[in-house]
A and B are shown apart, each in its own frame.
Chain A
Amino acid sequence: MTLRNRWRKTLSYVMLSLTGVCALVAVCILFLMLGYLVYNGWRSVDWDFFTKLPKSPGETGGGMANAIVGSFQIILLATVIGLPVGFMAGIYLSEFGGKTFAFLVRYMADLLNGVPSIVIGIFAYAVIVIPMHVNSALAGGFALAVMLVPITARSTEQFMSSVPQTLREGALALGASKWKTIATVVVPAAYRGIATGMILGVARIAGETAPLLFTSGNNAYMSSGFTQPTASLPVMIFLRATAPYEDWHRQAWAAGMVLLLLVLLANIAARLILSRGIAVQK
């Protein structure tokens, strides 16, 4: 073998191994990070974390019960507003859409998807917090809903479009009107994908912090309504991690672990639903 060929072969071997190293590094980063987080979080989390309210600075103990409930309140609001709107919009895009209007809506949805979450926070602040004169779960939920709508719309559209035309034609041929077809045939056929899209969307907004900073604010107590400042897990994590108190760091780890596990579980569940659906259709 000539020298040049030997060089080429070695180069090939080296470069391809490097790519393997890259992949390994990428996966290792994930495991290292998550492992460290779970390790620290596991040591820090206790029953108090889920049941007690936070204490004033410098005192140890307390928990994040208000943040957990608050996050739930905000996410509930966001899903109640965002999921139906996104779902309906997705149905429009896949079933009824004309050429130009649907294109415009799709374009705007993708645009909205790409807007940094902090800018959406500014929008929610101007539209809800200023007129209402108070930081509220409503404002935070609205901001998250604005993020949820395009995600849900696009994924609903995607899965509805992938339902074969024959199903629709069969129903229409049997005398069903268009909306009945959609409701009883197309949507049930696509429900796995739609549900997956929804779960992934909610999981994504559950971890958002930036839009909540100046919309829902924070609360030292349980928030007693959607029109009061509301504590949330991501905001509390941010505040606790950037403070000097060791005990607060401990709580940041615990909260981080809880949040991460919830988000990851939702993601894994969504993917399993989708993959099981695909297997069944075969």
Chain B
Amino acid sequence: MSAPPPTGARALFLRLRSGDEVARLITLAFASSILLVTVGLVYQLWVTSSLPRHKFGFGFLTSSMWNPVTGQFGALPFIYGTVFTSAIALFISVPLGVGAAIFLAELAPPRISSTFTFFIELLAAVPSVIFGVLAIFTLVPLMRDYVEPFLKKTLGGLPIFSGPVFGFGYLTAGVILAIMTLPFVISISREALLEVPTEQREAALALGATRWESTWQAVVPYARLGIFGSIFLGLARALGETMAVTMVIGNDPSIHASLFAPGYTIAAIIANEFSEATGDLYLQSLVELGLVLFLLTIVINALARLLIIATTRRGSAQP
């Protein structure tokens, strides 16, 4: 009674007429544009850094010489600066952030918790250049006139606190980065802590633990994957941060041990020198730096997401 279902071209034509296929194809096209752009990005970075890659090879990553006059380019000072400032940032923002998250998740009444979180998340929306402006006019004088001399006076023996005090430098960049990564650490850690089932807390308290012990030894370890995820996310943000760092790092392409010394990060040197690099090798070396940064942030971002996924999967798998 019923005709055999149409095949081949006629089937396609019928499907197209129904509109669903058109819709699917249209949205598919837009979705593939994301793929296209990402692949294009990687391709462009790769191709436009061919000169230094062929000239320096992997030596680019280990050389600390950045000399446009002689055409010697090396990424090490910038990788060092990027990692050093991010490490300082995490050193400050992780204890502060996890502590605040513990307070907001465990102790604060819900109204205060959500109001505080609302404001802290607003901090995440502030553009980087505004942090930079504030840093130049308030943080740098503060560091130069009070904090760094104080540190130098008390701990000046250590190499990490040696050398002249400029106000600009690794420490200042690290502090402003800390302020910028703080909201991420707080909000994600707080959510990770909230996911912890109450039974954990209650069990610990039932066993005679103090409130702190229950939090620190039962709840936080349970949420540690999510907390680590937040740290990695904050790290990923800090690595790629450009404007605020450019304005306070002092722009010195060499490696120093001291917190007070000026330095350079990958993002900062690209921002400063990209529109003026004369000569192909110079420009392409900057692009290669961009490639290095890109790869670095991908790895860290992937780790972050893995950790966060692991928490939620663990959390939802619990009975």
Q: Which residues of A contact B (CB under 8 A)?
A: 8-9, 11-13, 15-16, 18-23, 25-27, 29-31, 33-34, 36-37, 84-85, 88-89, 91-93, 95-97, 101-102, 104-105, 108-112, 114-123, 125-127, 146, 149-150, 153, 177-180, 182, 200, 203-204, 206-210, 213-214, 217, 234, 237-238, 241-242, 249, 252-253, 256, 259-260, 263-264, 267-268, 271
Contact = CB atoms under 8 A, between A and B. Distances in A.
Interface string B295-319: 0011001000100000000000000
B167 interface: no
Interface residues of B, number: 84
A256 B45 contact: no
B290 A30 contact: no
Contacts of B290: 118-119, 122
By secondary structure, the B interface counts as helix
Contact of B211 (A16, A123, A177, A253): A16
A34 to B, nearest CB: 8
A114 B236 CA distance: 7
Given A89-B33, A180-B19, 12 more contacts: A25-B96, A25-B100, A26-B186, A37-B134, A112-B34, A119-B41, A122-B274, A200-B125, A208-B128, A210-B243, A241-B137, A241-B247
Contact of B34 (A121, A150, A209, A264): A150
Given A213-B275, A241-B133, A115 B240 contact: yes
Contact of A29 (B20, B32, B179): B179
A217 B157 CA distance: 46
Given A19-B99, A110-B301, A268 B45 contact: no
B240 A118 contact: yes
A16 B107 contact: yes
Given A16-B212, A149-B33, A241 B26 contact: no
Contacts of B138: 36
B275 A12 contact: no
Given A89-B33, A96-B28, A105-B31, A22 B103 contact: yes
A8 B213 contact: yes
Contact of B133 (A9, A206, A237): A237
B245 to A, nearest CB: 10
